[in-house]
Structure 1
Amino acid sequence: MSTRLPVATPPEVRTEAGKLFQEHRRPLSITLTLHVLAAALGLAGPFLLGRMVDGVIEGTSTTRIDLLAATLAAFIVAQAVLTRAAIQRSLVLGERVFAQLRETFIARVLGLPLSTVERAGTGDLVARTTGDIDALSRTVRFAVPEILVALVTTVLTLAAAVIAGPLVAAGAIVGVPLLYAGTRWYLKRARAAYLWERASYATLDGTVTETVDGVRTVEALDMADVRIQRIDGDLREAFAAERRTLFLRSVWFPTAELSYVLPVVATLAWGAWLVSAGHATVGQVAAVVLYMVQIVDPVDRLVSWLDELQVGTSSLARVVGVAKVPNDREPSGRSPAGEDIHASDVRYSYVDGQDVLHGVSLDLRPGERLAMVGPSGAGKSTLGRLLAGIHPTRAGSVEVAGVPLVDLELDQLRREVVLVTQEHHVFVGTLRDNLALAAPSATDDELRQALDSVDALAWADALPEGLDTVVGSGGHPVGPAQAQQIALARIVLADPHTLVLDEATSLLDPRAARHLERSLSAVLHGRTVVAIAHRLHTAHDADRVAVVENGWISELGSHHELVEHGEAYAKLWESWHGRPAQESTN
């Protein structure tokens, strides 16, 4: 049962946004200043046009009218120059802020406890790293600058209208109550609706990803109809969420548009009466009406981008929420003085109240090869993850030389114990870059030796550009077996004293896997190795074998001891080998 990652509260979102504004205070101030100056220059147009109207009515000389026209043209040119500079500054600032947000988010994601990631599932995390980041990108790059500019322009335009004709500008207040009521109604409901929408997308993404990744299993078990029903259900949920946000927009947008069109009509009618009563001039009415027409654009942009801001703040809440995941370890700064690993009365559960390990105790002898075997779902991989320090125990402890694994910094932990699973990833970049992840200072000779130790040097040398060949998505194709060899070569370079191999050679054919394991034997000499496998030849070659059943270690001993014992392991060996256990060991 997956659980979603936490979402930041509105105060936490405001705090995060406040920190960003504080960090970029100087460039933000410069940008706003340029926008204010550009907006201020744009206000000269209606005022000068009003003066020109009054001048024509009063019979002012054409020279004065020409001077006013030339002044108006100068203001327009100056406004264009400042607007371009302001927009450029806004875009650069938006890119910098977004880059900082993205890097911070990636750092937080990479620091998430693996146990939390596994519980949350891939859908929620993928949705936050793709859809939410994309939405946040649009908000930071465009919505925030546009809203700030529109707000400043609106305030300045209203101020200019009051200066141009105080009595005439009174008509502008007609639309305020309607705009206030509509906006208040919308904002009260928007956050919850957009969070619902983003969460429904995350669920849908997760379902589709799981279905695509497991398409062979779906086909083999004839589960196509079940998965289609699941996807249809998620689509209905996403549709309902999308319909909710659309409804909010369909109510708010018309209300807002009506609210900022009404002042134009009201000002014109009110101004006509003032002129007839001798309380205002035609030029004043013309200037204020032009200001009311001019204010429509910034208010319209403010309304439009405010809706986009709701999407962005919802995405920011989900992005910031990743930082709320509690750490599953508390480094103490202690360093182990030895290499022996001891698990004592270990219990673990993925779901509260349902332990999958029931008080397991195990001592790993430095330099030994321990094989863990048993039926699927018995708890082998879970125990392996605990021995590698991936998960903290629910109860009991796993220690290296008396120091709990969860007390070690992650960098230090990986120098002690490394887990290698059947899951692997080849990053976009050169083969050298992929290998150097484990040892950034490694020389080419060391990289080649690592490849050679896992039987990968032959195909690596055959690549078009050797170690400089670009692999990964869009690069030179690398098969599953080769990708697994790259993962194993990284481990050789990392050089930990203890390895936990969870089906690490499962993607290789049995003969190739057997050859690789024999090659690794020389490389892993002197290291402690815990091998989790269904291929029992691994158990045959191990120093000891631990049989895991129903969350317990039911048997522990050498291959020959357990075969002679005639219990669970002997039956597994007989089933796998195809003849009686005693005969197969002779």
Structure 2
Amino acid sequence: MRPSATPDAVQPLRALWRRYDAYRARFVGAVVASTVNKVADVVPELLIGAAVDVVVRGDASFVGEVLGVESRYAQLGWLAVINAFVWIVESLSEYLAAVLWRGLAQGVEHDLRVEAYDHVQHLDLGWHESRPSGSTIATLNDDVNQLERFLDVGAPAILQTVLNVLLVGAVFAVASTQLLVLAFLPIPLIVIGSLVFQRRLEPLYDRVRVAVSDLSSTLSANISGIATIKAFTAEDRERERVSAVSQAYREANTDAIRSSAAFVPLVRMAILAGFTCTLLLGGWATLRGDLQVGLYSVLVFMTQRLLWPLTEVAEVLDLYQRGRASAARILGLLAVPVTVPAGSTALERPVAGRVELRGVRAGYADGPDVLHGIDLVVPAGETHAIVGSTGSGKSSLLRLVLRFDDPREGHVLFDGQDVRDLDWDSLRGSLGYVAQDVFMFAGSIADNIAYGRPGATLDEVRAAAEGAAALDFIDAMPAGLDTWVGERGVTLSGGQRQRLALARALLRDPAVLVLDEATSAVDNETEAAIQRSLRRATAQRTAIVVAHRLSTVRHAHRIWVLDAGRVVEAGTHDELLAHDGSYAALWRVQTGATADAPVAAAADVAPGPVG
């Protein structure tokens, strides 16, 4: 079960703390290690003051009184031993803190990226189609990386700064109340300035995140469409477009950097005031005999130790704002609701494969209805075709069967059960799908065929390839089934990709085979071979075929004709031709028959690959 995905709009980093409680022990360990490290880091300044005190006061020094050692040489020797021990502790604690903080950052980065990716996988297809893929990739990659950098660098820096102020403040409080007040006087100014700059930086870094998302989307889209860019000699135009988007990202970053960088000079002025007070007032007190020389040395060093790290506040604020903006975007992505959730009911085995649509009305997002009152029944074991002109609703109907979308009204039934009640293994595990736009993964041909059934044997993969009329071209390749397929299958022709996708679907041995223009990219000879294979493959299973080429579905048990999202005709090929309606008109267009020619004659002379 996923953790609650409701983001904290005010404090996204606090929301992450609540979300990943498994890392709290590591966080506490990192804080403890950093605290020990900071204490050990401050002690050498105290030892310097003690050494000066030994040199100046001799037997009456603080070290001599505490250790009971009279010799100055022995006192300095003891200070050297203590210093060596402190440096060892500091080095070990620094190593431990670095390991813990970086482990924490890497762990949260990994878990958050995987969780966000898994959530994105479960979001409905319409959500993905409504936004650029580059925007999602930017969130999963760049935003997660920004958050990791804050946890690795920014959070430890904030802790170290706070500890530094507390420890040095304690030393000043023991030494001189007056110098404590004067040395700490710049800190409220720095804090107030930090808050002012934080409010100014917040919208600036929101702009940076939007700009990097736009840039990622543009680059992703252009790389995917590189063939079209080349075909239309649009390289220069696209370079200018990428340049404009990149310039917007650059300007957004420049504005943010300019604002954060302006903070450093103000901090330096505050440091100058505090350091000057310690130098002068502490020096005068020492000259008057009110302050020991060694303690004065400690306070001078401590003033710099106190205030100088505050120059990094701007950088820490920069990391904080970037991390906060990124966390908000990631949590916003995780908060997107899954509108097509899995059901909990399993289909009874064996799955028969009966598909039925009852009074289905459907559309996309907030748009108008695409399907209007569809009633359709596909009995188990039969092959049914969905045909119609472009935009008639064929692919929309398939999306409901595959449950990429849910109907606005009505029911889609699989073996008599509403698909909304079925778990994914029962529903999609019983379906074999071949899309019109075939997607191939980077890997071997065998890997791509076995994608839906990873445990398949090599013989089963070959049998599926043969069933899809793909074995001949596979065996003709130098490496056969081990031939590497480039990203998105760019090394294959469209027809080859479609045959591999068909083999992938057949290997799954589904109860229902769903084909969306599955032979649109093959030649007539290959189409005829695939049709013969499909007749064998669908002999014992249900098949739903969307086709533009009517010759590929003329032997279907029933053909459903859609027009403007409604079923206007249904019947066999011969029945629909005899009816001389929409189907007959489409047939005449594809066969070249004249409007007044008898459709039966057209059917006799029409070329058909399936004999």
TM-score band, normalised by shorter chain? 0.7 to 0.9
- Is residue 356–residue 379 contact of structure 1 (8 Å, CA) maintained in 2? yes
Give the Å deviation of 1:228. Answer: 8.1
> How far apart, CA to CA, are the structure 1 residues paired with 2:270 and 2:492?
61
Greater mean deviation of Cα atoms: 480-489 or 548-557? 480-489
Instruction: Identify the match of residue 399 of structure 1 among 413, 427, 449.
Output: 413
Distance 1:122 1:164, change over 3 A: same
Partner of 2:608: none
Aligned identity (percent) is 29
> How far apart, CA to CA, are the structure 1 residues paired with 2:527 and 2:428?
25
- Is residue 165–residue 288 contact of structure 1 (8 Å, CA) maintained in 2? no
Partner of 2:555: 541
Greater mean deviation of Cα atoms: 348-357 or 455-464? 455-464
Q: CA deviation digits over 1:548-568, x for unaligned, max 9?
A: 222222332222222233333
> How far apart, CA to CA, are the structure 1 residues paired with 2:261 and 2:333?
32
Aligned ranges for residues 246-257 of structure 1 at < 5 Å?
Answer: 246-257=257-268
Give the Å deviation of 1:487. Answer: 2.7
Partner of 1:576: 590
> How far apart, CA to CA, are the structure 2 residues paired with 1:523 and 1:135?
51
- Is residue 577–residue 583 contact of structure 2 (8 Å, CA) maintained in 1? yes
AA in 1 matched with 2:25? R
Say how many residue pairs are matched.
581
Do residues 117 (structure 1) and 118 (structure 2) align? Answer: no
Give the Å deviation of 1:201. Answer: 2.5
- Is residue 136–residue 312 contact of structure 1 (8 Å, CA) maintained in 2? yes
> How far apart, CA to CA, are the structure 2 residues paired with 1:220 and 1:553?
40
- Is residue 170–residue 267 contact of structure 1 (8 Å, CA) maintained in 2? no
Distance 1:55 1:367, change over 3 A: same
AA in 2 matched with 1:382? S
Q: CA deviation digits over 1:479-520, x for unaligned, max 9?
A: 554443333222123222222222233343443234223323
Give the Å deviation of 1:385. Answer: 0.6
Greater mean deviation of Cα atoms: 181-190 or 391-400? 181-190
AA in 2 matched with 1:40? V
- Is residue 361–residue 369 contact of structure 2 (8 Å, CA) maintained in 1? yes
Partner of 1:199: 210
Larger radius of gyration: 2
Instruction: Identify the match of residue 265 of structure 1 among 261, 276, 293.
Output: 276
Q: Whose relative contact order is higher, 1 or 2, with alpha carbons under 8 Å and at least 6 apart?
A: 1
Partner of 1:42: 41
Give the Å deviation of 1:392. Answer: 0.7
Q: CA deviation digits over 1:176-228, x for unaligned, max 9?
A: 12211121112224344323321232234334433454466678889999978
- Is residue 94–residue 142 contact of structure 1 (8 Å, CA) maintained in 2? no
- Is residue 385–residue 419 contact of structure 1 (8 Å, CA) maintained in 2? no
Do residues 388 (structure 1) and 402 (structure 2) align? Answer: yes
> How far apart, CA to CA, are the structure 1 residues paired with 2:345 and 2:477?
44
> How far apart, CA to CA, are the structure 2 residues paired with 1:476 and 1:466?
17
Do residues 16 (structure 1) and 16 (structure 2) align? Answer: yes
Aligned ranges for residues 138-537 of structure 1 at < 5 Å?
Answer: 138-163=149-174, 165-214=176-225, 234=245, 238=249, 241-296=252-307, 298-336=309-347, 338-461=352-475, 467=481, 471-473=485-487, 477-537=491-551
- Is residue 550–residue 587 contact of structure 2 (8 Å, CA) maintained in 1? yes
AA in 1 matched with 2:603? T
Give the Å deviation of 1:448. Answer: 2.2
**Runs (5+) with no aligned partner, structure 1:** none
Distance 1:539 1:432, change over 3 A: closer
- Give the root-mean-square deviation of aligned CA atoms: 3.4
SS at match of 1:541: coil
SS at match of 1:585: helix
Q: CA deviation digits over 1:339-359, x for unaligned, max 9?
A: 322212322222424222222
Distance 1:59 1:151, change over 3 A: same
> How far apart, CA to CA, are the structure 1 residues paired with 2:252 and 2:274?
35
Partner of 1:585: 603
SS at match of 1:120: coil
Q: CA deviation digits over 1:268-307, x for unaligned, max 9?
A: 2332243344432232222122122224564344541331
> How far apart, CA to CA, are the structure 2 residues paired with 1:164 and 1:402?
85
- Is residue 347–residue 359 contact of structure 1 (8 Å, CA) maintained in 2? yes
- Is residue 134–residue 214 contact of structure 2 (8 Å, CA) maintained in 1? yes
SS at match of 2:554: helix
AA in 1 matched with 2:27? L
> How far apart, CA to CA, are the structure 1 residues paired with 2:567 and 2:12?
46
- Is residue 414–residue 496 contact of structure 1 (8 Å, CA) maintained in 2? no
Distance 1:171 1:506, change over 3 A: farther
- Is residue 179–residue 277 contact of structure 2 (8 Å, CA) maintained in 1? no
Greater mean deviation of Cα atoms: 295-304 or 566-575? 295-304
- Is residue 198–residue 317 contact of structure 2 (8 Å, CA) maintained in 1? no
Do residues 57 (structure 1) and 21 (structure 2) align? Answer: no
AA in 2 matched with 1:373? V
Q: CA deviation digits over 1:308-367, x for unaligned, max 9?
A: 122122222222222222222355533455532221232222242422222222222222
> How far apart, CA to CA, are the structure 1 residues paired with 2:311 and 2:535?
71
> How far apart, CA to CA, are the structure 2 residues paired with 1:542 and 1:471?
34
AA in 2 matched with 1:584? A
Give the Å deviation of 1:400. Answer: 1.6
Give the Å deviation of 1:49. Answer: 0.9
Distance 1:445 1:75, change over 3 A: same
- Is residue 516–residue 546 contact of structure 2 (8 Å, CA) maintained in 1? yes
SS at match of 2:403: coil
- Is residue 264–residue 311 contact of structure 2 (8 Å, CA) maintained in 1? no
TM-score by length of 2: 0.84
> How far apart, CA to CA, are the structure 1 residues paired with 2:201 and 2:165?
23
- Is residue 154–residue 298 contact of structure 1 (8 Å, CA) maintained in 2? no
Partner of 2:68: none
> How far apart, CA to CA, are the structure 2 residues paired with 1:37 and 1:211?
51
- Is residue 463–residue 469 contact of structure 1 (8 Å, CA) maintained in 2? yes
Partner of 1:25: 24
> How far apart, CA to CA, are the structure 1 residues paired with 2:404 and 2:504?
18
- Is residue 367–residue 526 contact of structure 1 (8 Å, CA) maintained in 2? yes
Q: CA deviation digits over 1:447-474, x for unaligned, max 9?
A: 2222222233345456666555654449
Greater mean deviation of Cα atoms: 111-120 or 502-511? 502-511
Give the Å deviation of 1:46. Answer: 0.9
Greater mean deviation of Cα atoms: 462-471 or 483-492? 462-471
- Is residue 383–residue 538 contact of structure 2 (8 Å, CA) maintained in 1? no
**Runs (5+) with no aligned partner, structure 2:** 60-71, 605-611
Distance 1:503 1:292, change over 3 A: farther
Greater mean deviation of Cα atoms: 168-177 or 55-64? 55-64
- Is residue 257–residue 300 contact of structure 1 (8 Å, CA) maintained in 2? yes
> How far apart, CA to CA, are the structure 2 residues paired with 1:131 and 1:455?
43
Distance 1:195 1:445, change over 3 A: same
Partner of 2:109: 98
Distance 1:100 1:368, change over 3 A: same
TM-score by length of 1: 0.88
Distance 1:467 1:73, change over 3 A: same
Partner of 2:607: none
> How far apart, CA to CA, are the structure 2 residues paired with 1:156 and 1:485?
71
SS at match of 2:519: coil
SS at match of 1:124: helix
